[in-house]
Amino acid sequence: MNNPLNRRRALALGAGVAGALAVGTTPASAATWQLRWSPTPSADGLNAFEGLEDDRADSHTDVKHIYVEGDHYRFDMHTRDRDGDDRQRNESKGMRSGSTLHKINKDQTWRIAYQAYWPSSLTATTKFTHIFQMKVQDVGGPLWTLTPRQKSKPTLTVLTLRDDDSNTEHTLADWTPLQNKWIDVEWEFKASNSGGYLRWVIRNGSTTVVDGRTTAVDLWRDINYLRPKWGIYRSIESSGLQNTYQLIRNYKAYQLV
């Protein structure tokens, strides 16, 4: 390096590297999934939710239908329970961590995952039986639902809402093979009128039962924020209704930021 020419070349190279770094060659940060909500039943209890809709009509007084049971949350439904003349509803709504209420706002992308246990007594019905809903806070009907329906055979479906307020029914899988075991459920979605999408994944152990996606869905209303609901919401206008329940554990909600 005693050669003056070599020294000049080294200085020029160093200046070039420094100049390149100074001009903003640092890559932009890629979007990542950040965990927002992961309640522990024993510690958080029912405070994990924004609120409960537990026998609002007082049809089954002095009975709690939503409660912690071991490592999971339990949602009971009895044939006598009512939420209006023709339906039943025992659901939790929203996501809360301590004093923080997690709101799903316009154009945000979220992933919500959990494990569900659906017993044989939770029968597919000819009318609606929703075991998950995504709704606008305190306004209107659901943007999508997870719904076991009695067709030619019991079938798990997703009902999505389109821009014209019509519903599209997506067939996911046979219902019976998914019962009496823990099933992984995952939703990924962008809460938008334009450019929104919904993806659903159902896994039975290591087997992916279905992995579907649609953009033909309206996932925003310019009114309030979105919030998920879990439990059982069903019509009484179907035969074969039984006392039943749904178990949920390992809730997790991530936001893409």
DSSP state of 5: H
How many domains, the chain?
Answer: 1
19 part of a folded domain: no
Q: Which domain holds residue 132?
A: 33-256
Return the closest-CA partner of residue 179 out of 118, 251, 102, 91: 118
The dihedrals phi and psi of 36, each to the nearest 5 degrees, come to -105, -30
146 part of a folded domain: yes
Q: Is the dihedral of CA 162, 164, 165, 167 positive or negative?
A: negative
Q: Which residues contact 169 (CB under 8 A, 6 or more apart)?
A: 149, 157, 158, 159
Cβ atoms within 10 Å of 90's Cβ, excluding its own:
26
56 part of a folded domain: yes
175 part of a folded domain: yes
Output the CA torsion 103→76→177→216 (10° steps): -30
204 part of a folded domain: yes
Q: Is the dihedral of CA 56, 61, 66, 68 positive or negative?
A: positive
163 part of a folded domain: yes
Single-letter code of the amino acid located at 227: R
127 part of a folded domain: yes
- Identify the CATH number of the domain in which residue 238 sits: 2.60.120.200
16 part of a folded domain: no
Per residue of the chain (257 residues), give pLDDT as tens.
455 445 444 444 444 444 444 444 555 679 999 999 999 999 999 999 999 999 999 999 999 999 999 999 999 999 999 999 999 999 999 999 999 999 999 999 999 999 999 999 999 999 999 999 999 998 889 999 999 999 999 999 999 998 888 999 999 999 999 999 999 999 999 999 878 999 999 999 999 999 999 999 999 988 899 999 999 999 999 999 999 999 999 999 999 99
Task: Kindly report the pTM of this predicted structure.
Answer: 0.88
